[in-house]
C-alpha cells in the first residue's frame, strides 16, 4: 500500500488516503504480485498497480504442417489426414497474430511479434493481435489504479472535500466551516461542519 496525496488548488490544503496497488483488466481487479492471462498468449503480473505483460514464446516445430488448437497459444504438428485442401499461393489466418500461405504443397506460417506492454489497462490494437496501451486524451484524468475519468466528472473523497476532473488534471476544493456559536458543537455522520444542537446556542446579553 502507499499514500496518495492530493492538493487543493484553491486553499492549498492537503489530504491523504491509503491506496492499495491493483491492476484492472476487462473489469476484473488483480492484486499486487498476482499473475494472470489476458488471453492464451499473453501472461501478465500486477506490480505496483501496473500490468507487466509479455507474449508467450513458442518452440519451433519440426514439421511442415501445423495448427493452433482452440484456446491455446502455440501451434502443434498435424498429420496430412487433418489438412484442408488449399490452392498454391492461398493465404489465411490461423489467429489474430498468425497468417499462413500454401506454397508448393507446404504450409508456411508467420506470427507477428508483440512488444511487452507496460500500462494499467492494455487493450488490443486495431489489427487485433498485440496488446497496446490506450491513448488517454488530454481532457481525461487517469489514476494508478487504472481508473479513467471523463472531463467534468466529480466526486467527494471525504465529507469536506470535492474533486473534479478538469483539463486532464484533478482539482480538489475544501469546504470552509463557519465558527459554531455554542460550547460543544456536534459533527453528524456524513457532514463536514459541526452544528449546534437545539437549545445549546450561546446568547449574548445586552444592557
**Residue 159 reports pLDDT greater than 70:** yes
10 Å Cβ neighbour count for 25? 21
Q: Is residue 99 in a domain?
A: yes
Q: Is residue 82 in a domain?
A: yes
Q: Is residue 199 in a domain?
A: no
10 Å Cβ neighbour count for 33? 10
| Residue 73 structural domain | 66-111
Confidence class for position 127, pLDDT limits 50, 70, 90: low
Q: Is residue 171 in a domain?
A: no
Q: Is residue 86 in a domain?
A: yes
Residue 120: its pLDDT value, please? 67
Q: Is residue 148 in a domain?
A: no
**Residue 68 reports pLDDT greater than 70:** yes
Q: Is residue 104 in a domain?
A: yes
| Domain total in the chain | 1
pTM of the entire structure?
0.34
Q: Is residue 76 in a domain?
A: yes
10 Å Cβ neighbour count for 56? 13
Amino acid at each position: 500500500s502507499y499514500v496518495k496525496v492530493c492538493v487543493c488548488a484553491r486553499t492549498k490544503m492537503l489530504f491523504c488516503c491509503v491506496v492499495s496497488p491493483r491492476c484492472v483488466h476487462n473489469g476484473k481487479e488483480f492484486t499486487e504480485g498476482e499473475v494472470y492471462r489476458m488471453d492464451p498468449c499473453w501472461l501478465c503480473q500486477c506490480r505496483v498497480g501496473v500490468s507487466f505483460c509479455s507474449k508467450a514464446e513458442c518452440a519451433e516445430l519440426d514439421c511442415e504442417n501445423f495448427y493452433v488448437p482452440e484456446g491455446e497459444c502455440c501451434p502443434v504438428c498435424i498429420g496430412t489426414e487433418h489438412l484442408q485442401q488449399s490452392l498454391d499461393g492461398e493465404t489465411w489466418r490461423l489467429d489474430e497474430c498468425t497468417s499462413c500461405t500454401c506454397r508448393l504443397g507446404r504450409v508456411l506460417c508467420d506470427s507477428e511479434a508483440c512488444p511487452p506492454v507496460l500500462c494499467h489497462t492494455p487493450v488490443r490494437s486495431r489489427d487485433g493481435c498485440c496488446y497496446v496501451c490506450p491513448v488517454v486524451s488530454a481532457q481525461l484524468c487517469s489514476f494508478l489504479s487504472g481508473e479513467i475519468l471523463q472531463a467534468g466528472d466529480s466526486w467527494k473523497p471525504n465529507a469536506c472535500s470535492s474533486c473534479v476532473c478538469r483539463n486532464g488534471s484533478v482539482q480538489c476544493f475544501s469546504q470552509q466551516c463557519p465558527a459554531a456559536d455554542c460550547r460543544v458543537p456536534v459533527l453528524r455522520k456524513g457532514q463536514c461542519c459541526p452544528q449546534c444542537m437545539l437549545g445549546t446556542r450561546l446568547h449574548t446579553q445586552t444592557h
